[in-house]
């Protein structure tokens, strides 16, 4: 193994677990049953003997295979293309819905929706399963078959969970899309996946303002010919345009369709394609399988977050990001209640987080540093009754220590740990974690998750301690993407091409000699706005839909509330173009969540072979040194880029 965490710092930690945290821990109980004395010993064994560990974890976490698998790993196609649990049968709908619809959990609340406008809706496990079976049968009635792709452009209403599991039930592949996307971003995903059905809603709200999802969907469908039907959830019920023969309202689907069987999916059959952005080219279609995501999500939630069936997990989320599918696959698989929270943490009140905790008896509250900064900035220290709350879980971006301490000390009263969790869409969840049963330092991680061999590598690919380097994975594990959708070569080039047999994750990280890990941001040009990743190339493509724009370059710059914000530099075809109109169209094409600050410039700096120099643009705009500019084409001077006065 590379830089193995010592699972605990030698410094005086901020969080020191008590006996209750240790006795409750699923992972510590399993460790004792398996005969290991320390978490570090167990982690070593989980990496050295994956055949033993993942088989033991599947049994311990009650991940029910309809047909038992023959062995854990088949890597005959090479390390980048493992096949997990060959010979077995597992369907995500079975482990998340069917099996809980009978017995002790049938009448327990499975899914809660907390709306931006104050609405609250729920489904029990029995109701969830009935709705999944009904929608699966209706999808089959629309001609959806095993392997077809269905895009979910939905707010986190209960229908989103139903649709996700219904697709799984019939062997179709879900493609979640972020509700903040503009029409071109949605169209890219519809075309890239060759979707046959789009499931959307008439609209949703964000900060109380209407977001016209169906209108955006209609614009996207104009350039997505593979889509045969659109199913529309009547969420706002304020009336939208419906095309006869293509568009159907969810509530008008057949109420008692002919039942369909749950498909006996191979563990490696695709379950979901989650598109995420790189620095160049189209978004990458990250493929997760039924068993890969089921095992990874159950392991992360059960061992990393210490979730049990009595837990209530709440998260401000969107189906278009990995947290949405993870809540379904992790929380529901373990029999917990999952609370999907729409919108932002400080609307309609700065106390929204805490009101949801009190109203739902939340035990595990998912947060992001951006969200907590927004709540902290409001200055409201009225937290209500948080007696049910046991811990926070944080993901999406790195913490700053003052914000972390405010959450831990002021809200958490020093007795609720912050389970810091970092990984990504490409690995189906987390790589690093702050285990609640171990001491922890602020804004850091106290170890890698079980079964994952991580290291920090220097420029020569050698493990380093006490230095910032590339976060890398030295083994493979269930939950890692099964390549990119229909693009194996790009997958290999993105993650496996730098060092032989090493997955380069794209994050900068450091691990101390005492085993404390920290993430230091991206090692590429990917932009993170409120924890949501977007590639500059994707925003540039959306901007260039406006024929008044000849060229575009996009960068991310620091933002105290959202981590980063998007700044775009465009060269117009007509220098006298109306800048205000140009900016308005940019917002429409990109979507408000990633809407850029727009600068109209005469030229963009390029290399002599025509490549836009984004890093030089960023350095110039922020008033820093652009570094070696020997490759700059003199016809495209860097001086055309303005300097941002606020960052000089």
Share of the chain above pLDDT 90, in %: 71
pLDDT band at 463 (very low <50, low <70, confident <90, very high): very high
Give the list of residues 6+ apart from residue 218 with CB closer than 8 angstroms, or none.
241, 243
Q: Which of 100-104, 478-482, 601-605 has the lowest mean pLDDT?
A: 601-605
Q: Supply the pLDDT for residue 608.
A: 52
Q: Are the C-beta atoms of 327 and 333 separated by less than 8 Å?
A: no
At 532 the pLDDT is 77
Angle between helices 290-299 and 50-60 (to 10 degrees): 80
What are the backbone angles phi and psi of residue 536, rounded to the nearest 5°?
A: -60, -35
pLDDT of residue 3: 40
pLDDT at residue 522 tops 80: no
The predicted-structure confidence for 189-198, as pLDDT tens digits, reads as follows: 999 999 999 9
pLDDT at 5 over 50: no
β-strand pairing of 364-367 with 391-394: parallel
442-459: average pLDDT:
96
Distance from C-alpha of 72 to C-alpha of 216, rounded to nearest angstrom: 43
> Picking from 328-342, 372-386, 412-426, which range would have the lowest pLDDT averaged per residue?
372-386
Q: Quick one: pLDDT band at residue 280, thresholds 50, 70, 90? A: low
Contact 480, 430 (CB under 8 A): no
What average pLDDT does range 91-97 have in this prediction?
A: 98
Strand pairing partners for 173? 149
96-110, 406-420, 476-490, 611-625: least confidently modelled range: 611-625
CB atoms near residue 516 (< 10 Å): 23
Q: Does residue 6 surpass a pLDDT of 50?
A: no
Q: How far is CA 244 from CA 142, 144, 187, 231, 609, in A?
A: 14, 19, 21, 12, 50
pLDDT attached to residue 117: 87
Q: What is the arithmetic mean of pLDDT over 83-97?
A: 98
- Quick check: 8 pLDDT over 90? no
Q: Is the pLDDT at 1 greater than 70, yes or no?
A: no
- In this predicted structure, what is the pLDDT of residue 86? 98
Is residue 647 over pLDDT 50?
no
Label residue 505 by pLDDT band (50, 70, 90).
Answer: very high
- Residue 545: pLDDT band (50, 70, 90) is confident
Query: How sure is the predictor about 304, in pLDDT bands with cuts at 50, 70 and 90?
Result: very high
Summary mean pLDDT of the chain? 92
- Say if residue 2's pLDDT is above 60: no
Tokens of residue 551, six digits:
């060229």
- Give percent above pLDDT 70 in the chain: 94
pLDDT in tens, 122-169: 999 999 999 999 999 999 999 999 999 999 999 999 999 999 999 999
Tell me how crowded residue 111 is: count the other CB atoms within 10 A of its CB: 28
CATH of 527-647, one of 2.60.410.10, 3.50.50.100, 3.90.230.10, 3.30.300.30: 3.30.300.30
Spatial separation of the C-alpha atoms in residues 271 and 294, rounded to whole Å: 10
Band of pLDDT at residue 107, cut at 50, 70 and 90: very high
Q: For residue 177, is pLDDT > 50?
A: yes
Mean pLDDT of 323-349: 94
Q: For residue range 224-261, list pLDDT tens digits in order.
A: 999 999 999 999 999 999 999 999 999 999 999 999 99
Confidence at residue 11, expressed as pLDDT on a 0 to 100 scale: 64
**Residue 193, phi then psi, degrees to nearest 5:** -90, -10
- Give the CA distances from residue 25 to residues 308, 511, 589, in Å, rounded to whole numbers and listed in that order: 9, 25, 47
Report the 3 state secondary structure along 547-590. Answer: CCEEEEEEEEEEECCCEEEEEEEEEECCCCCCHHHHHHHHHHHH
pLDDT beyond 90 at 262:
yes
Convert the pLDDT of each residue in 68-79 to its tens digit.
999 999 999 999
207 — pLDDT class (breaks 50, 70, 90):
confident
Structural domain spans, the chain: 527-647
Of 88 and 207, the structure prediction assigns the larger pLDDT to 88
Sign of the CA dihedral with 349 first, then 350, 351, and 354 last: positive
pLDDT digits (tens, 9 = 90+) for 551-580: 888 988 888 888 889 999 999 989 889 989
What pLDDT score was predicted for residue 194? Answer: 98
Statement: residue 7 has pLDDT above 60: no
Residue 639 reports pLDDT greater than 80: yes
Q: How far is CA 578 from CA 106, 422, 460, 571, 596, in A?
A: 60, 43, 50, 13, 17
pLDDT in tens, 38-63: 999 999 999 999 999 999 999 999 99
């Amino acid at each position: 193994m590379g830089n193995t965490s010592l699972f605990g710092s030698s410094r005086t930690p901020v969080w020191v677990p008590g006996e209750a945290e240790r006795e409750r821990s699923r992972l510590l109980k399993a460790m004792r049953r398996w005969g290991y004395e320390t978490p570090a010993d167990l982690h070593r064994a989980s990496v050295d003997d994956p055949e033993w560990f993942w088989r033991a974890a599947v049994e311990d976490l009650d991940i029910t295979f309809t047909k038992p698998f023959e062995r854990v790993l088949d890597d005959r196609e090479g390390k980048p293309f493992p096949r997990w649990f060959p010979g077995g049968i597992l369907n995500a709908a079975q482990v998340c819905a069917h099996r809980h619809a009978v017995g002790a959990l049938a009448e327990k609340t499975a899914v809660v929706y907390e709306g931006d406008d104050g609405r609250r809706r729920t489904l029990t496990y029995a109701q969830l399963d009935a709705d999944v079976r009904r929608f699966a049968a209706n999808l089959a009635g629309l001609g959806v078959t095993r392997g077809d792709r269905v895009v979910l452009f939905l707010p986190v209403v209960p229908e989103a969970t139903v649709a996700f599991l219904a697709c799984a039930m019939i062997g179709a592949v879900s493609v979640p899309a972020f509700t903040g996307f503009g029409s071109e971003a949605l169209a890219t995903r519809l075309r890239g996946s060759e979707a046959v059905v789009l499931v959307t809603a008439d609209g949703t709200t964000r900060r109380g303002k209407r977001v016209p999802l169906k209108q955006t969907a209609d614009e996207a469908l104009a350039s997505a010919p593979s889509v045969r039907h659109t199913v529309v959830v009547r969420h706002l019920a304020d009336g939208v345009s419906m095309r006869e023969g293509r568009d159907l309202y969810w509530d008008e689907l057949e109420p008692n369709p002919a039942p369909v069987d749950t498909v006996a999916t191979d563990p490696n059959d695709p379950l979901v394609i989650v598109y995420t952005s790189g620095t160049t080219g189209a978004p990458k279609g990250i493929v997760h399988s039924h068993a890969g995501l089921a095992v990874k999500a159950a392991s992360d939630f059960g061992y990393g977050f210490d979730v049990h069936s009595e837990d209530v997990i709440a998260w401000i989320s969107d189906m278009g990001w990995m947290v949405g599918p993870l809540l379904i696959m992790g929380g529901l698989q373990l029999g917990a209640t999952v609370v999907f929270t729409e919108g932002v943490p400080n609307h309609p009140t700065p106390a929204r987080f805490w009101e949801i905790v009190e109203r739902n008896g939340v035990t595990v509250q998912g947060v992001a540093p951006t969200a907590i900064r927004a709540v902290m900035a409001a200055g409201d220290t009225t937290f209500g009754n948080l007696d049910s709350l046991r811990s926070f879980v944080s993901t999406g971006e790195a913490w700053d220590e003052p914000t972390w301490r405010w959450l831990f000390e002021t809200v958490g009263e020093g007795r609720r740990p912050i389970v810091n969790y970092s990984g990504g869409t490409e690995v189906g969840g987390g790589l690093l974690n702050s285990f609640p049963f171990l001491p922890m330092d602020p804004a850091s991680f106290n170890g890698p998750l079980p079964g994952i061999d991580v290291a920090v590598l220097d420029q020569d690919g050698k493990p380093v301690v006490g230095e910032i380097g590339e976060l890398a994975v030295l083994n493979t594990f269930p939950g890692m993407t099964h390549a990119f959708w229909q693009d194996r070569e790009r997958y290999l080039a993105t993650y496996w091409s730098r060092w032989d047999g090493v997955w380069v994750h794209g994050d900068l990280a450091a691990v101390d000699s005492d085993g404390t890990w920290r993430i230091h941001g991206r090692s590429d040009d990917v932009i993170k706005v409120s924890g949501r990743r977007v590639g500059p190339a994707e925003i540039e493509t959306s901007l260039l839909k406006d024929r008044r724009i000849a060229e575009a370059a996009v960068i991310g710059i620091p933002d105290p509330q959202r981590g980063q914000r998007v700044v775009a530099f465009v060269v117009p075809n007509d220098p006298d173009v109306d800048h205000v109109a140009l900016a308005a169209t940019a917002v429409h094409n990109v979507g408000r969540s990633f809407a850029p600050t727009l600068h109209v410039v005469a030229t963009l700096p390029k290399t002599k072979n025509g490549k836009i120099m984004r890093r030089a643009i960023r350095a110039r705009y922020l008033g820093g040194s652009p570094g070696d500019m020997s490759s700059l084409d003199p016809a495209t001077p860097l001086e055309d880029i303005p300097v941002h006065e606020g960052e000089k």
